[in-house]
Structure 1
Amino acid sequence: MNISRRGFCGVGLLAAASSLGFHAFANPSARKVRVGVLKFGTVNWELDTIKHHQFDAANGVDVEVVYFAGEDATNVAMLAGDLDVIVSDWLWVSRQRSEGEDLTLAPYSTAVGAIMVREDARIHGIPDLVGKKVGVAGGALDKSWLLIQGLAQRDHKIDLANEAEIVFGAPPLLSEKALSGELDAVLNFWHFCARLEASGFRRLIGADGAAKALGASGPVSALGYVFHENWATENRDAAMGFVRASAAAKKLLAESDAEWERLAPIMRAEGRELEVLRDRYREGIPNRPLAEEESDAAKLYDILADIGGEKLVGEARQMAPGTFWAALKT
């Protein structure tokens, strides 16, 4: 069983998945795939779609969703061998590979955070953030924050970390502070940005725009489905089956507004907020050959390593070979 380079990313894989149809069949011999996720994370929308429509059974696997309270817990469980798949970013995967682990990833989403400001704010560019109170989710080493800092330094000679008043915090809290007017701007994760957009905020600059300005030729998946390469080699049909199930779910979510209405209670969204979340999710569906994403990720890694240093990437100054699952490029 194989998937071409264009078979995983974007339209090619989604078209291939459509040939399975949306009426899945039961498969008593399906290989169980344990997927660890945050209980209220956005990945649950796709996994719920997989299970509801039995896309896993249609592709020879049985997805078992295992919930965790925090990202660190999922990472520990993955490294301990208690899970088959988690969702994480390519920086973490590369660092683990550089330190001897055999983790690799298949792209999940290119959706990234952005700096959001009120629609009527007198902030129209990075220089306008100087002296302003800016909330930043994800901490000082968050990729989106580092990329935007890099762009501010290169294009405007501005050290945002020191020339703006930076407030780090949890994403929900920062969104609340932005809504209440306690922050002039906020850099938050993509789904929090979407909810703010539905509440009268606009994007000042996204991490995707910063990445392109810094050399990426197109969208790069911020997150991927992460697994051990040895597991994928020994269970190739299961690994490919899971990838295909994910693609089938993405195809449905890309095409069906009704599916988003079904997911609304899980998402805790309705009306305009649901529509914006739907549209931003769709924009984040990977649609490029894996080799192109990998090449751009390597470019961004070099920039992030310069800014974030050893605290971010460890001792490796280049992205580890094999960070993106090579089987998806053949």
Structure 2
Amino acid sequence: MMISRRGTLRLAALGTAAALVPKPSFATTPSFATVKVRIGVLKFGTVSWALDTLKHHRFDAANGIDLEVVDFAGEDATNVALLAGAIDMIVSDWLWVSRQRSEGVGLTLVPYSTAVGAIMVKKAAPISTITDLREKKLGVAGGPLDKSWLLIQALARRDHDLDLAATSDIVFGAPPLISEKAMQGELDAVLNFWHFCARLEANGFRRLIGADAAAKALGASGAVSALGYVFHDKWASEHPDAIAGFIKASARSKDLLARSDDEWLRLAPVIRAQGEELAKLRDRYREGIPRRPAAEDAADAGKLYRVLAEIGGEKLIGRAPEMAPGTFWQVPPQ
């Protein structure tokens, strides 16, 4: 019997998932919590800020769940663990979820954050529009298929007949390295993830254009969630109390982060920032809290999917010309 490549990967995932799951970050289990939810996150990712708030204030127990936070070193490891059933939930983007659904894997997501990257330049740099990036050295985090990079390229092509990948000197690298090279003056501009951009803002940089502005110019009616809490829809249907409790607990943590400056001061050691840098991270995080119905998010994501498919091609989206139905989870009627 022949086994497909996807089947081989699935078997490998099942065989290695246990080894990939480290000990949970938070050992305390409230005695009155009723349903356990296991979420895998990057150890030093921004999602951990909200989850730290959720656990610190026991919003999970207050909503009938016991959230177990499992740290991972890389995104690939979280993906494998979720696909193998070693954890219940991760944070990822809708492009990955859509591709998995198109290939028969029943994943879905609940919006988590609309915060996206931006092209950053030094305040005194003689760069005022996207066309000024021609023949400049541009650092890009996330690789050639990063959504923010593709959206900004698409906008430059449509509005300015400018092929940034061809006319600029593009340097790809890890987010910390890209920011470091920018600070050292080795790059004229950088496109980095939102939290690295916020730190740069606090250190003498300004935003030239954000991926959010590019998305709206390309057809989105509002801020589109870049990331979401991802889980199997079968798991959600079998554990309705768990997913409902998690969504409520997450909403409470976001609400606290949206209104309490003191909570950000408490998180400062976790975030590893203080002063102006902490304030910038706080403000940009707050801007990224989703404010609209998931159905509107899904509609705009579908529009952007077609733009990204055109420029990113099969390497980005596989063979599906449209975003897979069900990519954004719809709360079942009560």
Flag whether TM exceeds 0.5 (same fold).
Answer: yes
In the alignment, is the contact (CA less than 8 A) between 2:141 and 2:193 conserved in 1?
yes
Matches of 2:54 and 2:128, distance apart in 1: 41
2:94 and 2:228 in contact (8 A); partners too: yes
Deviations 1:107-129 (A, max 9, x none): 00000000000000000111100
Q: Which amino acid aligns with 1:230?
A: K
In structure 1, C-alpha distance between the alignment counterparts of 2:332 and 2:56, rounded to whole Å:
26
Query: Quick one: which of 57, 61, 86 aligns to 1:53?
Result: 57
Superposed, which structure 2 residues align to 1:145-224 within 5 Å? 145-224=149-228
Which residue in 2 is equivalent to 1:123?
127
Name the aligned partner's letter for residue 101 of structure 1.
Answer: V
2:324 counterpart (313, 320, 326): 320
CA distance in 2, matches of 1:316, 1:246: 32
Q: How far apart are the structure 1 equivalents of 2:244 and 2:169?
A: 46
Distance 1:110 1:191, change over 3 A: same
Q: Distance in 1 between matches of 2:63 and 2:37?
A: 12
> In structure 1, what is the Cα distance between the partners aligned to 2:204 and 2:138?
17
Divergent runs of 4+, >3 A: none
Maintained 8 Å contact 1:26/1:58: no
Report the secondary structure of 2:331's partner residue: helix
| Counterpart Cα distance in 2 of 1:131 and 1:293 | 36
Percent identity reads: 72
2-structure distance, mates of 1:178, 1:68? 28
Within 2, Cα distance between the matches of 1:183 and 1:38? 28
For residue 26 of structure 1, report the CA deviation from its aligned partner.
Answer: 5.1
Task: Tell me the residue number matched to 1:288.
Answer: 292
* CA distance in 1 between partners of 2:230 and 2:100 (Å): 11
Letter in 1 for 2:173: G
Q: Is the 8 A contact 2:30 2:66 kept in 1?
A: no
Matched, 1:272 2:308: no
Contact 1:171 1:192 in 2 (8 A): yes
RMSD: 1.2
Q: Secondary structure at the match of 2:327?
A: coil
Which of 299, 304, 309 lines up with 1:300 in the alignment? 304
What is the distance in 1 between the residues matched to 2:70 and 2:165? 37
Instruction: Describe the SS at the equivalent of 1:248.
Output: helix
AA of the residue aligned to 1:257: D
Contact 2:101/2:107, CA 8 A, preserved across alignment: yes
Q: Give the counterpart of 2:139 among 135, 138, 146.
A: 135
AA aligned opposite 2:71: Y
Q: Tell me the residue number matched to 2:74.
A: 70
Q: Secondary structure at the match of 2:171?
A: strand
Residue type at the aligned position of 1:246: S
Distance in 1, matches of 2:226 and 2:31, equals: 33
- 2:239 is the counterpart of 1:235: yes
Q: Any gaps of 5 or more consecutive residues in structure 1?
A: 1-24
Q: Distance in 2 between matches of 1:264 and 1:97?
A: 38
Q: Deviations over 1:72-121 (max 9, x none)?
A: 11011111111101000000000000000000000000000000000000
The Cα shift of 1:28 comes to 2.3
Q: Is the 1:136–1:187 contact (alpha carbons within 8 Å) kept by the matching residues of 2?
A: yes
Q: Quote the Cα distance in structure 2 between the aligned partners of 1:94 and 1:311.
A: 14
Identify the residue that residue 94 of structure 2 maps to in structure 1. 90
The amino acid that maps onto 1:114 is A
Q: Which amino acid counterpart does residue 245 of structure 1 have in structure 2?
A: A
TM-score under structure 1 length normalisation: 0.91
Q: Distance in 2 between matches of 1:92 and 1:328?
A: 23
Number of matched pairs: 306
CA contact (8 A) 1:115 1:187 kept: yes
Q: 1:30: how far off? A: 1.9
CA distance in 2, matches of 1:262, 1:29: 25
Measure, in 1, the Cα distance between the counterparts of 2:36 and 2:204: 44
Q: What whole-Å deviation, never above 9, does each CA across 1:239-271 have from its counterpart, x for those lacking one? A: 010011000000000000000000000000000
Letter in 1 for 2:294: L
Matches within 5 A, 1:240-279: 240-279=244-283
CA displacement at 1:328 relative to structure 2: 6.4
Q: Distance in 2 between matches of 1:235 and 1:290?
A: 20
Q: Secondary structure at the match of 1:76?
A: helix
Partner of 1:41: 45
Distance 1:196 1:236 in 2: 41
Task: Give, in angstroms, the shift of residue 276 of structure 1.
Answer: 0.3
Once residues 226 and 78 of structure 2 are traced to their aligned partners in structure 1, the CA distance between those partners, rounded to angstroms, is 17
From the superposition, tell whether residues 206 and 182 of structure 1 become closer, same or farther in structure 2 (CA, over 3 Å).
same
